[in-house]
Amino acid sequence: MPRWMPACAAIASPYFASGTSSKSSKMVHGGLRYIEQGNLGLVRHSLLERQRLRRNARHLVQRLPFLFPVMEKDGVFDKRLSKAFESLLWTYDLAGGWREGILHQKLTKAEVLSHCPTFNEENLLGGFMYFDARVDDARLTLNIARTAAFHGAAVVNHAKVVEITRNGHGKVDGAIIHAGDREIRAKAGVVVMATGVWLRDWTGRKKGEEKTLHIRPAKGVHVAIPWLKVRNDCTVTIPVPGRNRRATITRWGNVSYLGTTDEDYEGDLDNVCCTREELDFLLDGARWALKTDLKAEDVLGSIAGCRPLVAPPGGKTLEIKRNHEIHTAADGLVTIVGGKLTTSRHMAEQTIDAAQKVIGQRNKCQTKSAYLLGAAGYDAQAIVASGGLSAHLGERYGTEARFVSDILQADSRLQAPIVDGLPYTEAEIVYAARHELAGCVDDVLSRRIRARLMARDASARAASRVGAILQAELGLSESVVAQQVDDYLAAVAHEKSVLLGETQ
C-alpha cells in the first residue's frame, strides 16, 4: 500500500501472484524450524506480522493448528527428544505464539487420531499441537494490490517492465512498460525492483558499500489429494522415510494439499512444474504415515514455484535463513529480495523507507494497522456460522461479498457452480472481470479461484465457460478467448503428461 507518496504505481508481470506468491505453502506463520536455525529474530518478527495480518486481513487469514506426531521410531524427531521439542514449542509461544490466544498442547495417541483418523497407529505414541495461520496467498496478494489502488496507487496487471530509464546524470528516473500492444513511458522519482527469483545475481550498495546479492531459487511443490483420503482437520507433519525430511498435509475445503520440497532450481523460471520424482517423494511420505493407498492418479492438481533465497552457492537450501535484503544502488534503484510471505508488510515498510531516502521524503508508515479491503467490520465467527454461500463468499471477499451478492441478485443464474465439485460461482468470475483485473482464463482458474490446484481436470472442463464470461465482460474477441482456452487446456495436459505419463 502507498505511504502517501506523491504518486505510486505497481506493475505485475505477467499477472498478480503468477510467480512465487501463488505457489507458497499458504501459511502465515512464525516458522518453528527457524528457531532450530537460531534465527529467533525472524520468528519474533514473523509472529508479530502474523497477528497484524490476522487483524488487517481477518477475512483471509484464519487460525491453523499444526500437529507433530511422536513416534516410537522413524518419526519427525527421535522420541527421546520429545522434551526438547516441547521446550522448542515453549520458546515459540514466548516469542509471540501466545498472541494467537492459545498455547501449544500435548496430545495423547487417541487425540492425535481424532485430528487425523487415517494416521498409521503403528509406532504412534502421541503428539504436540501448536497454532499458526493460513491464507489463500494469491487472494492476499491481489487484495494488497486492490487496497493500494483504493488509496490512490496506479496498479497495472499483465504488464512487463522492459527497461529502467536513467537521466543525463545516470540516475534512475522511470521505466518503459509494455502492456498488451501499448508502450508506456513512466517517469518516477524513485523505482523499486521487487522481482524475486527473477533478479538472479545483482550488485548494489548497502550502507555505502558495494555488495553482491546472490539469489538462489529454491523450488517447492505441493499436490492436492481428496480430503476423504486423509480426513485431517489440521496441518499434519509427517516424516519422509529415508530422506531425513518432513512434509505437511493441510486441509483446504474438500482437498488436502501435500508439500513441500526444498531444492536448488536452475531451470526455466517461467515454466516451473512438479515432476514425477517430486510427486513420488511426497506420496512416499504420505503412504508411510497414513493408512491410505495414495496413487499418482489420486492427485487433483499441483503447483510449483521458487523461493528467492539470498545466499551464495553451497549447502542445502532447506538450511538457508529466510531473511530479506534491501539495497539502494548508486543510480538510486531500490531493490528488495528474499524474505517470506508472512513478513511481506514489514519488508514493504522497510523498502518504502529506503525509497523515501532517495527522494528526500519521510512519511510515517500507516500499514501496521491499516485494514485490507473487506476486513474492516468483518465478523468472521458470525459469517462462518451462517454456512453455505454466505460463508464461502465471506471468507474470500470479507465485507465486499455484498458486491458479489449484488451480481447474484441481478442474475440468479450466476449462482451456478463454475467448476464441478468446488463452491465457486459464475458470479465470482463476473466480479473478477469487473473488479479484480482478471486478465485471462488461466488468471481466473489458477489465481482468482484455485481450481487449477484443487480440481485440475474439472477446471479444464470449465475453461470454455470462463472464457465466455470474460468475453462478455471484457469485450474480448472470439479468437483471443479461443487461444486463452487452448493455452489453458495445453497447460493442464502438460501437467498430466509429466505426472501421469498421459498424452493427448
Same domain flag for 243 and 206: no
Domain shared by 248 and 177, yes or no? no
**CATH code of 487's domain:** 1.10.8.870
Threshold 0.85, pTM exceeds: yes
In a domain, 245, yes or no: yes
Within this chain, do residues 389 and 492 fall inside the same structural domain, yes or no? yes
Is 127 part of any domain?
Answer: no
Strand order in the sheet with 172-179: 160-166, 172-179, 182-187
CATH code for the domain of 239: 3.30.9.10
Residues 396 and 495 in one domain: yes
**Assigned domain for 180 exists:** yes
The torsion of the CA quartet 308, 310, 311, 316, rounded to 10 degrees, works out to -40
Domain that holds residue 426: 380-500
Instruction: Record the cell numbers describing residue 484, joined without a space.
Output: 486463452
The verdict on 251 and 147 lying in the same domain is no
Number of independent structural domains in the chain:
3
Q: Domain for residue 442, yes or no? A: yes
Q: How does pLDDT run across 167-216, given as a tens digit for each residue? A: 999 999 999 999 988 999 999 999 999 999 998 655 555 555 666 778 99
Residue 78 lies in a domain: no
Instruction: Say whether both 167 and 199 belong to one domain.
Output: yes
My answer on whether 328 and 445 are in the same domain is no
Give the model's confidence band at 7: pLDDT under 50 very low, under 70 low, under 90 confident, else very high: low
Whether 206 and 332 share a structural domain: yes
- Judge whether residue 483 has pLDDT over 60: yes
Task: For residue range 357-375, list pLDDT tens digits in order.
Answer: 999 998 999 999 999 999 9
pLDDT grade, residue 384 (50/70/90)? confident
* Residue 502 pLDDT greater than 80, yes or no: no
Whether 205 and 339 share a structural domain? yes
- Position 57 scores a pLDDT of 98
- 120/256 Cα distance (integer angstroms): 17
Note whether residue 234 is domain-resident. Answer: yes
- 171 lies in the same domain as 152: yes
Residues 6+ apart with CB under 8 A from 148: 1, 2, 8, 10, 155
Does residue 129 sit within a domain?
no
On whether both 206 and 229 belong to a single domain, the answer is no
**Per residue in 112-169, pLDDT tens?**
999 999 999 998 999 999 999 999 999 999 999 999 999 999 999 999 999 999 999 9
Q: Is residue 76 part of a domain?
A: no
Q: What is the residue whose three cell numbers read 469485450?
A: 475
Same domain assignment for residues 180 and 329: yes
